[in-house]
Chain A
Amino acid sequence: MGASSPEEIVTTASFLGYRAVAITDECSVAGVVRAHAEIKLCRLPISLIVGSYFTFDDFSFVLLCPNKAAYSELCRIITQARRREEKGSYALSEWDITSLRYCFILWLPTGSKDKDGKWAQWLKRFHADRCWIAGQRLLDGEDHLRFKHYEMLFEKYAIPVAACTGVLMHHKDRLPLQHTLHAIREHTTVEALGRQAIANAERALRPVSKINKLYPTSWVNNTQQIAAQFSFSLDELKYQYPAELVPDGFTATSYLRYCVEEGIQRRFPEGLADSIRATIEKELTLIAEQEYEYFFLTLYDIVQFAKKQKILYQGRGSAANSVVCYCLEITAVDPRQINVLFERFISKERDEPPDIDVDFEHQRREEVIQYIYQKYGRERTALAATVIAYRFKSAFRQVGKALGFAESQLDFVIKKINRRDRTIPWQTQITQHGLDARSKKVKQLISLVEQIVGFPRHLSQHVGGFVISAGPLYELVPVENASMAERTVIQWDKDDLESLGLLKVDVLALGMLTAIRKTFDSLAAQYPVTPSIPFITRLGDDHQVFDMICKADTVGVFQIESRAQMTMLPRLKPRCYYDLVVQIAIVRPGPIQGDMVHPYLLRRHGKEAVSYPSTEVEQVLSRTMGVPIFQEQVIQLAMVAAGFTGGEADQLRRAMASWKKDGRIYEFKDKLISGMTAKGYSTAFAEQLFEQIKGFGGYGFPESHSASFAVLAYVSCWLKHYFPVEFYLGLLNSWPMGFYTPAQLIQDAKHHGITIRPVCINHSEIEHTLVLSQGEKVIQLGLCIVKGLSEHSASVLIQSRPEKGYESIAAIQQLGLPGNDIEALASANGFAMLTENRYAARWEIMDQQHTLPLFASESSQHEFPFRPSEADNLLEDYASTSVSLEQHPVSLLRKHRDLSRFIPASNLHCIENKGVVHVIGCVTGRQAPGTASGVTFITLEDETGNMNVVVWQATARQQQSAYLSATILQIDGILERSPEGVTHIIAGKLTDRSDWLSSLRIASRDFH
C-alpha cells in the first residue's frame, strides 16, 4: 500500500519531530531493517517500533513488538501465516492471534456494530491489557462516523483509543505514486480505481502540531504512552550459530585453531613462512574478537562434506583474501601468489561479517543444499531473500497501464527505446516514438516512472545465500515459502542481513567445476594418477599452456573464453598465473571505462615508462605496472596515500559500488584529496585517482575474486591443452554452462582434430562418452543431444538395449515410448544402423500399425520413395541436434555455389592489413556490449573457423534487415590486423544469405 521507502519514512518522521515511528508492512517485517539502518547511519533521534499489519476475516489489526519476546512472537506468527499459503499470500488462524502473549495490538474496527462487537469482546477476553483501538482521522467525510463508533466501543468495552494515521507515504507529494501503485496492484487504471483510491493525502506523515489539532488529547497521550513502553531494538538480535559443530573438549576458538593447524600441515607441508604465520595469527585474533568462529566452522563443515562426496568446489569473493580460508580448504588461492588484503575480508571498523561465496559443481549443488537442510533441519535453515525491484521496463509498462496507455503502445515504445544509447535519455527517446512530451499524461508517465524505478516489487529467493541458526530461525526473522517447492526464504535480503551483522553462507553453482570434475573422472578412468586442481597448480606455470592462451585458443575454458577476452589475450600475452589474474580483471567495464587498459598494455610491453609518486604507491601498484586494476588497490591507495583506516577504505569500496545510485562516494572526495595532498601528493594526482575510482563504478573486480577465477581458468586451459578429448567431453556433458553452445564446442573440437561420432541407437549412452577407435580417442555423442527426447525415454532405451543392439525400429516401438521421442531420435538419424535414411525411419515410425499386436510382425510393403539430400540431412541435423557432423553449412554451400571469392576463416591471415575482404559464414553470436558505444561484434563461423566482424552503429542502422535477422551472412569489408595479430573484419556491406539455406536455424547467442 505504501508509496515511500522505510528510509524516507524514518527520516521525515524524525524531521517532523516524532519520537517514535512504527513500520508495519502487511504480514511482513521486510522493511524494518532498512529503517533501522537509516536511523543508525544518520543518527536520527527517533526510535523504531517493529510491527506488522494483518487481516483475519473482518478483523484488521497491527501487532507491535515492545520487547524481544514480542518480536520472536511476531516472527513466529508471520512465519506460520506465510507457510500456510503459497508465496505472496498468508492465512492467519484464530489460534495464532489468541495465543499472543507479548505483542501489543492496535485494532482497526470496521465500523459495523455487529462485527466489531464480536471482536471487541474477543479482545477483552484474551488481550485486555495489551490492546488499543487505532483511531484514524483521515478527513474523508467519514471521520464523524468513525469517532462515534470508537467512543461507543470505548464506553461499552473499555478499549482505549490511540491516535494513529496509518501512514502510506512520507510526504503528500507521493499521492500520485500511491494511487499508481494501488492501481498496479489492482490491475486497473488510476481512473478506474474511483472511490477505492484514497481521497486525499492525509495518509502522509503529518506534523505533530497538526496531529494534536486533529485528535483528542487523550488519544495522543495514549499513543505516546504506548510508544514509551517499547524497548526493543533490532540491535538486540544476535545470531546463535549451530553449536554442534564443535566437538566435546573444544571451544569454538580452540577447535577453529585446531582445524587451521591441521590445514597448515596439508597446505604448507614444507613449513610456514613467518609472514604467513603472522597473518594467520592476525586473522585468528580478529575472528575471535568478532566471534566469527562458528561461521568459519560452518563453512568448513560444508566444504568438508563436498570434499568427501568428491564434489568440486571453490571459495571466492573476499574469502580468497584470507589465509585461514586457504588452510580450511575453503579457497584454493595460495596467499603467496596474490597480495592478501585482510581488511577486505574482515575489518573491525566495518563490523560487518565477512563475505564468503563458495561455488560448487552446478549439477551437484543440490546435494550440498540437501546436506545443509538435513544437518540443521528446515526450522533452522532458510535462504536469504532478494528484493526484486522495478526496473525501467517493468516500471514503464506498469505505470503506463495504470495511467491508461494502450499496452501495445507501451510495448512498442519499450521495444524501441535503446537503453544503451547514453547520448539520448529515454525521456527524450519516447517522444521520438509517438508519445508527446508536452502532454500532461506523458509528463506524469515520465515522472512516475522515475519515482517507481528501484521500488520493491516482491521478494524472491537469493541464488544460494543460506542462513543457519542454532535455534528455530522463525524466532529471529519470519520465514516464508519460496516459489520453488521445498524451499523457504527469510524476509530479509543480503543487505539487511549485513546491516544487522548476521552471516549467510553462499552456496553457489558453477558449471566449470562440473566440467573439470567430469574431465578428471575420465582421466582417472584411464590413468593411475588421480588429477586434481592442486595437482595441476602445483606443477607451476606451463609455457605450452600459456602459448595456447596467447593464441586465444580458449573456446570452452573458464572466463577467458568470451569474445572480448579472446581479443585481449594476444595483446596482453599472459605468461604466468598472475597475468591471468590481471587478464580476467582488466576486460571489465570498470577498467575499460576508467581508461586503464591502454596504459597497462603500453607499460607491460615496455612502450611507456612506469613511474610512481612515492614508494608507498609503488608498493600498491607495482604488480599492475602503476595502473590500478583491482578494487583492493584502490582501497590500499586510500590507506597508504590518503591515510584512510582499513574500515574507512572499505566504506569507500561500498560507496564505489553504489555511487551512481546514491552518490555517497562524493562524501569521500574531500577526505581523499586532502589526505593525499597532506601527504605530499599533487592535487592533480589525487583528482586523477578519484576519477579512476569513479570510473570503476560498480564494475570493479576484486583481485581476490579474479585470483580464484584465474585458478579455474588456468586449470581448464591446462586440461584443454593436454587432454582435449576429455576436456571437450567434460564440457559437453556439463552443458548448459559457459559461453558456447554444444554445436560451437563440437566445431572447435573438430578444428582440434578430434573425431566426433554421431548419435546412434546402438552405440550412444545418455551422456557423451569417450570411446577408443583404432587406438584413437573419439567422442561418441550421447542421446542427451537429441532435441525433444525425454530423459526417461533415453534411459529406457539404454536399459532395454539388447547386447547386440536393436535390430529393427519395430523392436524399439514395442518399448511403448512416446511417439515424439522415437521421432526425435529418427530425425537425429539415430536409426542410421537400422534403416536406409532418416526419412524412411520416420515414415516407418509414423505407421502406427506396428504397435498393434496383430500387425507387429508386418513390415511396410512399400518402399518409401524419398531420400534426403545433403542439404536435407544438414537441415535435419541442425533441427534435431543443433549441429551437423557431416559437413558445415558453408561447405555445403560451396558445393552448390561458386563461393571462391569468399575467403575462409583459416585463410584470413593471407590478407594484408587494411585489405578488402569478402567473407561468408553462419552467425553464431551478436554482442553489443555497453562499453562499445553502439558497436556490435558479430561472430561468423565457416567450416575452417571463426571470424570476428565489427559492425559500426551507422552501418548497422543502414542495413538493419541483414544485421538483425541473417543466419548466414555475407560481409564485404576491410580486414584490420593489430600488431599483435588480432584480426577483425570491419563490416561495410552486410548481405543476408539465409535464403541460400532457408530453413537453417542456427542457435546463436544474440546480444548477450
Chain B
Amino acid sequence: MLWAYLDFTQLTLDLSGSERASAPAAVYNEQENVIVQRCAEAAKQGIMPGMGLAQAAALCPDVTITVYVRDKEVEHLHSLAARLYQIASDIVVITPAALAIRLDNLCHYYGSVAATWKAIVSELAPMSVNFAYASSWSVECARVLAKANCNDIYTDKKAISAALKKCQISHLDLDHSQRSTLHRVGIFTLERLLSLSVSELGKRFNNQTIRYLTAVRGDAYPTYLLYRPAERFVRHKDVAYEIENTQHLLPYITALLEDLAVFLRLRNKVVSDLSINLYYRDQAATTVLVRSAVGLSNVKQWLDIASLQLENISLDAPVISLRLCADELQEHDAANQDFFQDRHQYFAQKQLMSRLQARLGDHNVIVPASGNDHRMERQTESGGNSAADTRSQWLPAIRLVAPAPLTTPCHITFGPVRLQTGWWDEKAVKRDYFIAKTQSGEFIQIFRNARQHWFIQGYYA
C-alpha cells in the first residue's frame, strides 16, 4: 500500500484568504489561548504557533486575528474530500485538517504514482490551500513524514526508511507525556526509537502505543474508515408530453415522491426541504422550494404541500422534465411516535403552518410572540416562540408601526407606566405610557416622551 498524507496546516487562514493578503494575520484558539496558524508576513514579524495572544500582540500590534473554529475547518475539509472523491476512491478524513489518499490502487487509472499525485495536486490548486505532504506505506507513517515537512512522494521503501529516521519524536502522533517520556531517556529521533526492539518497547508502553508504532514502522496495517460523500436524494423524470398546466405535473411529482419515500424509509430518514427543478426546452430551469415545518417522508403529506405551492406558479413555457432533490436528510425522530404523548395537535399546528406558508409565502405568515424587551415596539415579533406573557394584559391589541401624534381629546384611565431603557442600542426610550379613553369611547394606548410630546402607540380591541 502507498498512502499520501496531506496536512492542511492553515485551513482557517486559507479559507479567509488572509495568506494572499500582505497584512500579517494569525488564527487564535481562544480555549487554549494559543496562536495556531499564522501567515508568512506574521511569521516574519516573529509570531509563532503556540504563542499566547499577548505575546503575539506585543510582537506585531497590527496583526489581524481570526478566531479558530474547529467545526469550520472540518466542514472545509469535507468539501475538499468531496472534491477529491471525484478523482480518488480511498480517502481517509482525519479531522480537523488532514486527508490521507491511497495512491497505489489509482495507478491503474492514472498510469503511475507521480501522475496520480499530479492529478490530486491539480484538483486542489483552485482551492488555494496550503498543505504539507508525504507518502508512505501507512497513513501513520505518511503522517509523520508530512509533519516533518518532507513534502515528497516516496515510492521506494528505502527512501521512506531513510526519511523516517530523520524525523523527530515530536512528529509522532503521541501525547505530550509519551513524548516527554521518550525525550527523557534520550530518544529524540525516530532513528533511535526504531533501533529498539519491539519487545523492549512492549515492556514500557501500552498496547495502543505499540500498535501505533508498528504501523509507523510498516509492520502492521490498521484498517481505516474511508470517506463516503453525504447522502442526498436526486431523481430526474422526463414527462410524456410537454406540460403547460401545473396540475398536470402532479402525477409525475407523486411518482418522484414515492421514490423519495422509499429512499427515506430505507434509511429511516425524513426531510423538511425539497427542491423541484422544472426544465423547459428553451429557457433556463426554475426551482420550486417546498418546505415543511416538520420533517416528513409520507407521500400524501408532501403532495398536499407541493400542490398548494404549485398552484401559485404559472408556467411561462411547457415543462419537458423535472427533478426532485432532497439534500439534507434528517434522522427520523422515533419519539414522535410515543403512544402516550398527545402530539397530534402539535403536528396539526405544524402542518397548518406548512400549508399556510406554501399557500401565502413565507413572508406573509407571522407567528405572534412576546419579545423579551420592555419596549412596546419589541413586545410582538414574528418568531417561533409564541408563549403568551402575563404582562401583556395592558398591551393594545393593535400596535401602530410608528407612533402617531395624539390629536384627539381623551382622558387618562390608567398609568403612568414609565419606560426608561434601551440605552445600549439605537432605540433608547424614555416614555410614560397611559391608557386613555377618547370621546368616542375608544380605548387607546398613548405615551408622553421626554420632550412632553404625546403620541398614540396602539388601540385596544
User: Interface residues, chain A, CB within 8 Å of chain B?
Assistant: 139-142, 144, 172, 175-176, 179, 190-192, 194-195, 197, 199-202, 403-404, 406-408, 411-412, 415-416, 432-433, 440-441, 444, 823, 827, 839, 842-843, 846-849, 860, 862, 864-868, 872, 876, 879, 960-961, 964-965
Interface-located stretch among B98-106, B212-220, B254-262, B415-423 = B415-423
Q: Counting CB contacts under 8 A, is B287 at the interface?
A: no
Residues of B with C-beta under 8 A to A848: 203-204
- Asked if B374 and A866 make an inter-chain contact with CB atoms under 8 angstroms apart, the answer reads no
What are the nearest 10 A-B pairs in CB distance?
A194-B372, A961-B46, A415-B54, A139-B418, A141-B417, A866-B186, A846-B204, A200-B420, A200-B418, A839-B186
Q: In the complex the two chains form, is A960's CB within 8 Å of B421's CB?
A: no
Task: Digitize B376-390: 1 where CB-to-A-CB distance is under 8 Å, 0 elsewhere.
Answer: 000000000000000
Q: Which of B394-434 contact A (CB under 8 A)?
A: 394, 414, 416-421, 423-426, 432-433
B417 touches A140 (CB 8 A): yes
Are A416 and B55 in contact, with the CB atoms below 8 A? no
Nearest B-chain residue to A192, judged by Cβ: B372
Q: Does B334 contact A (CB under 8 A)?
A: no
Stretch at the interface among B59-67, B144-152, B290-298: B59-67
Cβ distance B384 to chain A, nearest Cβ, rounded Å: 16
Complex A-B: 7 CB contacts under 8 Å: A200-B420, A201-B420, A412-B53, A415-B54, A839-B184, A865-B195, A866-B187
**Alpha-carbon separation in the docked complex, A815 to B216 (Å):** 37
CA distance A985 to B394 in the complex (A): 78
A140-B418 contact in complex given A842-B184, A865-B195, C-beta closer than 8 Å = yes
A444, B423: Cβ atoms under 8 Å? yes
Q: Given A848-B204, A960-B59, answer yes or no on A175-B420 (Cβ-Cβ < 8 Å).
A: yes
Contact, CB under 8 Å: A139 / B58: no
How far apart are the CA atoms of A175 and B424 in the complex, in Å? 11
Given A440-B426, A848-B204, A960:B185 Cβ within 8 A: no
Contact present for A846 and B185 (CB under 8 Å): yes
Which partner residue on chain B sits nearest A415 by CB separation?
B54
Interchain nearest-CB distance for B309 vs A (Å): 36
Find chain A residues with CB under 8 A from B204 CB.
Answer: 843, 846-848
- In the assembled complex, the Cα of A200 lies from the Cα of B192 at a distance in Å of 73
Determine how close the nearest CB of chain B comes to the CB of A132; give it in whole angstroms.
Answer: 25
Q: Contact flags (1/0) for B169-188 with A, using CB distance below 8 Å?
A: 00000000000010011110
Residues 47-60 of B, flagged 1 when their CB comes within 8 A of A and 0 if not, give: 00000011101111
Q: Is the CB of A433 within 8 A of B61?
A: yes
**In contact, B417 and A139 (Cβ under 8 angstroms):** yes
| A144/B414 contact (C-beta < 8 A), A408-B65, A862-B200 known | yes
Closest to B65 in A: A412
Q: How far is the CA of A860 from the CA of B200 in the complex (A)?
A: 9
| B28 touching A866, Cβ below 8 Å | no
Residue contact A199 to B185, C-beta cutoff 8 Å: no
CB contacts (< 8 Å) of A403 on chain B: these are 424
Inter-chain contacts of B46 with A (CB < 8 A) = 960-961, 965
Residue from the set A172, A411, A848, A876 with the largest chain B CB neighbour count within 10 Å: A411
**Hey, which chain A residues are within 8 Å of B394, CB to CB?**
141
Contacts of B30 in A (CB 8 A): 407-408, 411
Chain B residues positioned under 8 Å from A415 (CB to CB)? 53-54, 57-58
Q: Is A191's CB under 8 angstroms from B420's CB?
A: no
Cβ of B197 within 8 Å of any chain A Cβ, yes or no, is yes
For A200, give its contact among B67, B203, B421 (CB under 8 Å).
B421
Residues 352-392 of B, flagged 1 when their CB comes within 8 A of A and 0 if not, give: 00000000000000000001111000000000000000010
Residue of B nearest to A872 (CB): B186
* B58 and A195 form a contact (CB under 8 A): no
**Chain B positions within 8 Å of A406 at CB level:** 67
Whole-angstrom distance from the CB of B25 to the nearest CB of chain A?
A: 13
Closest to B33 in A: A411
Chain B residues near A407: list those with CB within 8 A: 30
A408 and B55 in contact, given A403-B424, A868-B186 (Cβ under 8 angstroms): no
Contact (Cβ within 8 A) A199 B423: no
Shortest CB–CB separation between residue A401 and chain B, in angstroms?
13
Choose among A197, A411, A823 the residue that contacts B421 (Cβ–Cβ < 8 A).
A197
In whole Å, how far is B16's beta carbon from the nearest beta carbon of chain A?
15
B186 pairs with A195, CB closer than 8 A: no
Give the complex CA separation of A191 and B373 in angstroms.
8
**Cβ–Cβ < 8 Å partners of A860 in chain B:** 200
Interface of A is mostly: helix
Bound Cα distance from A872 to B185, whole angstroms: 10
Task: Give the docked Cα–Cα distance between A876 and B180 (Å).
Answer: 11
* Beta-carbon contact of B28 and A408 below 8 Å: yes
Chain A residues near B65: list those with CB within 8 A. 408, 412
Q: A176-B423, A195-B391, A441-B424 are in contact. Are A839 and B418 (CB under 8 A)?
A: no
Interface residues of B toward A: which range? 35 or more
CB distance from A849 to the nearest CB of B (A): 6
CA distance A299 to B371 in the complex (A): 63
Instruction: Give Cα distance in the complex from A965 to B204, angstroms.
Output: 36
**Do A416 and B421 have beta carbons less than 8 Å apart?**
no
User: Smallest CB-CB separation from A142: which chain B residue?
Assistant: B391
Interface string of B25-53 (1 = CB under 8 A from A): 00010100000000000000110000001
Q: How far is the CA of A175 from the CA of B391 in the complex (A)?
A: 22
- With A140-B418, A197-B374 known as contacts, the answer to whether A843 contacts B185 (CB < 8 A) is yes
Picked from B57, B184, B372, B420, the residue with its CB within 8 Å of the CB of A412 is: B57
Residue from B45, B196, B421 in contact with A199 in the complex, judged by beta carbons closer than 8 Å = B421
- Please indicate the chain B residues that have their CB under 8 angstroms from the CB of A140 in the complex: 417-418
The docked-state distance in angstroms from the alpha carbon of A864 to that of B60 is 47
Bound complex: CA of A847 vs CA of B203, how far in Å?
Answer: 5
**Interface-central residue, A843, A848, A860, A965, by most chain B CB under 10 Å:** A843
Inter-subunit contact A190/B424 (CB<8 Å): yes
Chain A residues with CB below 8 A from B196, complex form: 865
Residues of A within 8 A of B67 (CB): 406, 408
Known: A412-B65, A415-B54, A847-B203. A964 touches B421 (CB 8 A): no
A842 to B186, CA, bound (A): 10
- Chain B nearest Cβ from A762, distance in angstroms: 22
Indicate whether A444 sits within 8 Å of B420 (C-beta atoms), given known contacts A408-B30, A408-B65: no
Report the nearest A residue to B61, measured CB to CB.
A416
Residues of chain B in range 98-122 having any CB-CB distance to chain A below 8 Å: none
Beta-carbon contact of A964 and B418 below 8 Å = no
Given A191-B424, A415-B57, are A876 and B372 neighbors across the interface (CB < 8 Å)?
A: no
A964 touches B58 (CB 8 A): yes
In the assembled complex, the Cα of A567 lies from the Cα of B402 at a distance in Å of 73
Contact check: which of A202, A411, A444 meets B418 at CB < 8 Å?
A: A202
Question: Which residues of the other chain, B, contact A416 by a CB distance below 8 angstroms?
Answer: 54, 57-58, 61
Given pairs A139-B417, A140-B417, A194-B372, 12 additional interface contacts (CB within 8 A): A195-B373, A197-B421, A406-B67, A408-B53, A412-B53, A415-B58, A441-B424, A839-B184, A848-B203, A866-B192, A960-B59, A964-B55
Q: Which residues on the B side are within 8 Å of A865 (C-beta)?
A: 195-196
Closest to A138 in B: B418
**CA of A407 to CA of B65, assembled, Å:** 13
Closest chain A residue, CB of each to CB of B195: A865
Tell me the complex Cα distance, A190–B192, Å.
Answer: 59
Contact B419–A199 (Cβ < 8 Å): yes
CB < 8 Å neighbour of B58 from A441, A847, A960 = A960
Give A236 Cβ to nearest chain B Cβ, in Å: 41
Are A839 and B185 in contact (CB-based, < 8 A)?
yes
User: What's the least CB distance linking A327 to chain B, in Å?
Assistant: 53
Contact of B185 among A175, A411, A441, A842 (CB under 8 A): A842
A415 to B51, CA, bound (A): 13
Kindly state the separation between the CA atoms of A412 and B61 in the bound complex, as whole angstroms.
10
B144 to chain A, nearest CB (A): 20
Q: How far is the CB of B288 from chain A (nearest CB, A)?
A: 38
Query: Are A862 and B426 in contact, CB atoms less than 8 angstroms apart?
Result: no
Given contacts A199-B421, A200-B420, A866-B192, contact A827 B184 (CB under 8 A): yes
Whole-angstrom distance between the alpha carbons of A194 and B192 in the complex? 64
CB-nearest residue of chain B to A140: B417
CA distance A823 to B181 in the complex (A): 9
